[in-house]
Each structure stands twice: as C-alpha cells, then as structure tokens.
Amino acid sequence: MTWLVVFFLWIKTYLVYKLYFNIRSESIFQELLLFINPLSSTLFLIGISFFFKDKLRKIMIVALSILGTTILYINVLFFRFFNDFLTLPVFFQTSNAQDVQGGITELIKFTDLFLMVDIVLIVYLLTKHSISGMKIYKRPALVVMALSVGIFVLNLGLAQIERPQLLTRSFDRELLVKNIGILNFHVYDAVIQSQTKAQRVFADGSEINEIVHYRREQYKKPDMGFYGSIEGKNIIVLSLESLQDFVINEKVNGKEITPFLNDLIDESLYFENFYHQTAQGKTSDSEFLVDNSLFGRDSGAVFFTHSGNEYQALPEELREKGYYTSVMHANNKSFWNRDLMYQSLGYDQFFDINSYEVTEENSIGWGLKDADFFEQSIDLLKQQPQPYYTKFITLTNHFPFELGEEDRFIDEFNSSSGTVNRYFPTVRYMDYAVEQFFKQMKEEGMYENSVFILYGDHYGISDYHNKAMAMYLGKEEITNFDSIQLQKVPLIIHIPGTDPQTIETVSGQIDLKPTILHLLGINTKENIELGSDLLSPERDSFAVLRDGSFISDDTVYTKGICYDKDSGLETESSQCEPYFERATLDLRYSDQIVFGDLLRFYDR
Ligand code: GP9
Ligand code: MN
C-alpha cells in the first residue's frame, strides 16, 4: 500500500514538472534524471509513516501524501505567477505574498483537481483495507529511509555528471529542480538559508563602526579633471563573457583576435593591469563586485545566498540621481537568482530572455548569439527614459565555446586542448558583435551622449588547460605567477571625445563603482566601498583576488609564495609583507558586511 502511495506522488511530481512547469530536457539522460529525481524525497516523506502503527499509520499516509501534494501545489501557484520556484526568503517576503493574494483565485484552475485524484483513491483504498496488521515497522522504516538516501546519492552522482559542481557553482533554480527534484531543492534551500540567517542574527551595529573607520582611511580623493565629466550621460556597461586580457593585441595564425577592441582602446581609457576578482559565482560575482564595490563569497554565490540583504548599490544610487537602471541579458531570469538580486540592487528593469526573440537560427551554445542580442537590444534601449545606466551581459563566448561556421572569422588554435583552440574564434566573434553594437549606436545617434564601460567578467580558460596556454604564450610552463597574470581582464572606459590613455594602475572589478560615481560627480566619501577610484591621483596600485592572492606594482603573492613581478621568480616574503594586512582586511570586512548584512545598520 505504502509503495503505491509513493508511486502516485512520484509520478504526480513528474507530471507536474512536465505539465505545469514545462520543464524540457535536451537529452534522454536529462529526461531520465528528471523522471527519477522525485523518487528519493517521496520515499523519504511517505516512509515516515512506517514509524506509526494502526490507524495512526493510515492517517499519516494520507497526511504525508497531502503534505507532499500541498508543497507541489504551492509551487504550481507560485510558478503561475512568477514563473519561478519558491524559495524560503520569498515565501516569507510578505510584500510578495500580498502581490499574489489579490490574484490567487485567478491562479487556481479547475483542472488542478487532478492533483487530488490519487489522494481520494488512497483514502478509499485505506478505508477498505483492514486495519489489523499495521504494526510499527521500525526496521523497515529505517531501511526505507536508508534506501531513499541511497537513491538520493545516486541521483546526485548522475546530476554531477550532467552538471559538474551543481550544488556549489550553479544556482539556477530550474537546473536544481531538474537535477535533484523539487522536494530536495526545498531542503537544500532551507539549509543554505538557515546557515546564512544565523550569521545575520548574531551581527549587531557595532561591527560597522570599525569598517567605516577603515574605509575613511582608505578613501582616495578623485581627480578633479575627471570628476563630474560624464554627468548626465547615458552609461552603458558591457560585461564581456570570459574575456581575458591576454588576447588583446594578439593574433592567431596572423589574424587579430580582437581587432575592434584593439582599435577602441586607441580611443579610450584602457586599464592594462585590471583583474577579475570572482570565485564560484562567476558572472554574478563580477556583477556584485561592480555594483557594490564588495567581494562575492569565497564559495557559493552571494547572488544566491544574500539576495535579501540591504545594499547601497550603484543602480540604487544612480536611481536616486534620476537615472533609469536596467540589465539586458538573454537568459532565464532566475539564473544566478538575478531576478531577486537585481531588485535588492535597485535595478528598475531586467530584460531577460522573454524580452528577446530567440530561435534555433539565432542561437548557439548558451542561447541567443551576441550580435542578435545587441541588435534586438537597441530597441529596448530606445524605449528607456534618459539618462540610463544599462548593463549588457554577453553569452556567446562561454565555455564550451561553440560557434557556427558562418561566425568563424579566424582559425582555431592548434593545441591538445579543444577548449583553448575554440576560445579564440568565439572571442573574435564577440569582438565582431561589439563592433556591430557600436555601429548601430552611431547610426541611431545614440553614441555621442553615451559612455561605454567594457570589461571581462572572469577567466575563460582555467588552469586545467595550462599546457595549451603555455604553448600559445610560447612559454615552457605556466607557473603560479603566470596563472595570476592570466587573471587580468580588459577594462576599457570609452568616453566619446576624450583623449586616450593606457593606465598602468593595478586594480580590480571592486574599483569600478567609486570610479563611475566620481566620473558622474557623485561624492563617495560616506560610502562603504572596499575599492577605490581608478583615476584618483592618490590611488594605491593594488588588487586582492578572492582567494587572498594579491598584486602590487612590484610583487605578486599567491599560494603562500611572494614573487618578484619583473622576473616572475620567487622572492623574499618580506617584499610582500607590507600588503598582507590590507589584503586580509579587505576580504574580512567585505565578508563581515555581507554575512552580517551590516549595511542595514549604516545610514549615509
Ligand atoms: C549566464 C551567464 C553565464 O546567465 O551569465 O554565467 P557564468 O557561467 O559565466 O557565470
Ligand atoms: Mn560569465
């Protein structure tokens, strides 16, 4: 009998995936995962009934089945409204609940009764079934629990094959539900939320004073020549997927990899020692760094774990100054939990995949091709009130670097790593897409009044491909020192009509927020930011990476070793000594702010 109840709930969950959530799979393996993923949690839930006996056991079977169905059904209703899966912070967000309440009757459909069919059947069968013989099955109860855990581990193993680092790296709720199932997803969500809640609960306002003091000491006055120089202009930020600095002004088989960006650099401010500071949160970490001038998390993604925090983010500040703020990115809005985090950061609008026309012809790899993405975005851009701050996030140059033949403008590289080989043509394609975007902006007369900030979000080629990278760079091997140098990403600030400059200052994504604010003539003295203005004459040439490595003008510190920057060779650790404290404090204070949600105690 219990098995039948498990079977019903299992199949019902699968049907809800297909009929209500419209989850589609790209392969049979994915579909198989989707099909088996409700089993472990269903077995666990209904298995609880084995701990009870006689009549109580029957009641528990029905109650647990109703509980499972209710959780499913709340998700169905939530999904109808938000097109997303429920998370705890959202569940307890009263403002959202009010939004939904008004329309709740409209969300319920007559056909939803189908979800009750099995329960009615179970009740009927149970009343017919004699009560006697329903004892406490302690041992079977434990066996069932163990079985469900076993199935879960197997499920997780398969999911890891399908999507490596699923739990630490990928925080797309749809992906999680697809891979581990909806009930397990809720458990996972609860664990993450309670962990972060605890740190927040124990935080109080006193910690922030120390940080405010530190920040005041670090504050760097702006260059008055630049201060306020772009006031009132539209700001366009281009987050360029996986773009590393080593491709700039370089070639493959005699052909430039980034011809457009190379030319653009000749008309822009170009920061040649600018580092990404991201960790597992990848693109989302870079967004967090740029918008908050704070670090993301050491592990996991802050976009996922701390979307409910109080921030004093760039979009919010610009909004207060009359800017319209938005993001354009042709991907699911829940990827990296962007839909929720963007609200916390103060964006007015997120143009996600639903704002774009995505077809098989105009897609490759992760989705809409960059050139089509930019082309379709122009109209969206035009609709916005001015001045605006709009961030574009590109997608084509993403691992595994797939590209259609028609978009391949340069040869692949020739090494043992397919990833490295394919990287160059997709970077070249992204360069082309950006070129088209600038052309269209000019044609539409939208160029002159805009400022363009382009940067690489994070590395595209991991250390795993060091051999092929050494071959490309013409080196014997990639040392730890070289690895750090490879974390440079280009930063180009293009202000039409401004003299070009190549700027050497060692810097990172965390420094962008104060730079942009100062260019707009907005004072940052009272802000809590851990970066500093890239154009300030007082600036320290310095960058800390998320793993504690740091770079100064003459040293690189990584994996416990201090390197001399000129020679790339190991040097005395005393050379790196002066920077240790700064590196540690920057990271520590940033974590304290994020984990303790400390900005809720700070009023500028
Ligand atoms: C997905 C895109 C890529 O929306 O931002 O994410 P990544 O894997 O680079 O973090
Ligand atoms: Mn990315």
Over residues 235-254, the pLDDT tens digits come to 999 999 999 999 999 999 99
The CA 278 to ligand 2 mean position distance, Å, reads 10
Q: Same structural domain for residues 348 and 425?
A: yes
Task: Give the CATH number for residue 410.
Answer: 3.40.720.10
Q: What band does 99 get if pLDDT is binned at 50, 70 and 90?
A: very low
pTM of the model: 0.80
Q: Is residue 559 part of a domain?
A: no
Q: Is residue 139 part of a domain?
A: yes
Q: Which residues are catalytic?
A: 283
Phi, psi of 38, rounded to the nearest 5 degrees: -75, -15
- For range 325-337, the mean pLDDT: 94
Q: What band does 88 get if pLDDT is binned at 50, 70 and 90?
A: confident
Task: Pick the last residue of a domain from 185, 200, 215.
Answer: 200
Task: Provide the H-helix boundaries in 164-250.
Answer: 166-169, 173-180, 182-201, 206-218
Q: What band does 200 get if pLDDT is binned at 50, 70 and 90?
A: confident
- For range 550-569, the mean pLDDT: 95
Range of the domain at 143: 2-200
- For range 20-29, the mean pLDDT: 86
Q: Is residue 587 part of a domain?
A: no
Q: Same structural domain for residues 303 and 160?
A: no
Q: What band does 26 get if pLDDT is binned at 50, 70 and 90?
A: confident
Q: What band does 103 get if pLDDT is binned at 50, 70 and 90?
A: low
Q: Provide the percentage of residues in the chain whose pLDDT is more than 90.
A: 75
Q: How many CB atoms lie within 10 A of CB 509?
A: 30
The predicted pLDDT at position 473 comes to 98
Q: What band does 133 get if pLDDT is binned at 50, 70 and 90?
A: low
Q: Same structural domain for residues 293 and 392?
A: yes
- Per-residue burial over 216-242, b if 16 or more Cβ lie within 10 Å, else e, is eeebbebbeebbebbeebbbbbbbbbb
- List the shell of residues around ion ligand 2, using CB closer than 5 Å: 241, 282-283, 457
- For range 291-296, the mean pLDDT: 97
pLDDT digits (tens, 9 = 90+) for 373-385: 999 999 999 999 9
Task: Pick the last residue of a domain from 503, 518, 538.
Answer: 538
CA distance 561 to 581: 16
What is the number of structural domains in the chain?
A: 2
Q: Same structural domain for residues 444 and 498?
A: yes
Angle at CA of residue 312, ends 546 and 513, nearest 5°: 55
Q: Give the ligand 1 atom nearest the CA of 281.
A: 10
pLDDT digits (tens, 9 = 90+) for 264-273: 999 999 999 9
Tell whether the model's pLDDT for residue 95 goes beyond 50. no
Q: Is residue 260 part of a domain?
A: yes
Annotated binding site for substrate: 398
Q: Same structural domain for residues 186 and 258?
A: no
Mean pLDDT check: name the lowest of 170-179, 262-271, 427-436, 437-446. 170-179
pLDDT digits (tens, 9 = 90+) for 385-424: 999 999 999 999 998 999 999 999 999 999 999 999 999 9
Q: Same structural domain for residues 274 and 134?
A: no
Instruction: Output the residue whose Cα is nearest ligand 1's atom 9.
Output: 283
Q: Same structural domain for residues 407 and 316?
A: yes
Q: Give the ligand 1 atom nearest the CA of 239.
A: 5
Closest by alpha carbon to 503, among 460, 549, 553?
553
pLDDT digits (tens, 9 = 90+) for 333-371: 989 999 999 999 999 999 999 999 999 999 999 999 999
Q: Is residue 579 part of a domain?
A: no
Tell whether the model's pLDDT for residue 275 goes beyond 50. yes
Please list, in sequence order, all residues whose beta carbon lies within 8 angstroms of the beta carbon of residue 124, skipping any fewer than 6 positions away. Answer: none
Q: Same structural domain for residues 180 and 266?
A: no
Tell whether the model's pLDDT for residue 43 goes beyond 80. yes
Q: Is residue 378 part of a domain?
A: yes
- For range 447-473, the mean pLDDT: 96
Is the peptide bond preceding residue 514 cis, with omega within 30 degrees of 0? no
Please list, in sequence order, all residues whose beta carbon lies within 8 angstroms of the beta carbon of residue 580, skipping any fewer than 6 positions away. Answer: 557
Q: Same structural domain for residues 196 and 228?
A: no
Tell whether the model's pLDDT for residue 284 goes beyond 60. yes
* Residue of 240, 244, 278, 282 to mutate, ligand 1, most atoms within 8 A of C-beta: 282
CA distance 288 to 297: 10
Q: Provide the percentage of residues in the chain whose pLDDT is more than 70.
A: 95
The CA 172 to ligand 2 mean position distance, Å, reads 14
Tell whether the model's pLDDT for residue 149 goes beyond 90. yes
Tell whether the model's pLDDT for residue 557 goes beyond 70. yes
Tell whether the model's pLDDT for residue 38 goes beyond 60. yes
Distance of CA 516 to the CA centre of its chain: 22
The predicted pLDDT at position 344 comes to 97
The CA 326 to ligand 2 mean position distance, Å, reads 18
**Are 583 and 548 in contact, with CB atoms under 8 Å apart?**
yes
The CA 22 to ligand 2 mean position distance, Å, reads 26
The predicted pLDDT at position 96 comes to 41
Q: What band does 2 get if pLDDT is binned at 50, 70 and 90?
A: confident
Mean pLDDT value across the chain: 92
Tell whether the model's pLDDT for residue 55 goes beyond 90. no
The predicted pLDDT at position 129 comes to 72
Task: Pick the last residue of a domain from 521, 538, 555.
Answer: 538
Q: Same structural domain for residues 374 and 476?
A: yes
The predicted pLDDT at position 170 comes to 45
Q: Is residue 567 part of a domain?
A: no
* 36, two tokens: 């088996």
* Residue of 331, 358, 459 to mutate, ligand 1, most atoms within 8 A of C-beta: 331
Q: Same structural domain for residues 415 and 502?
A: yes
The predicted pLDDT at position 97 comes to 47
Q: Same structural domain for residues 337 and 377?
A: yes
Q: Is residue 205 part of a domain?
A: no
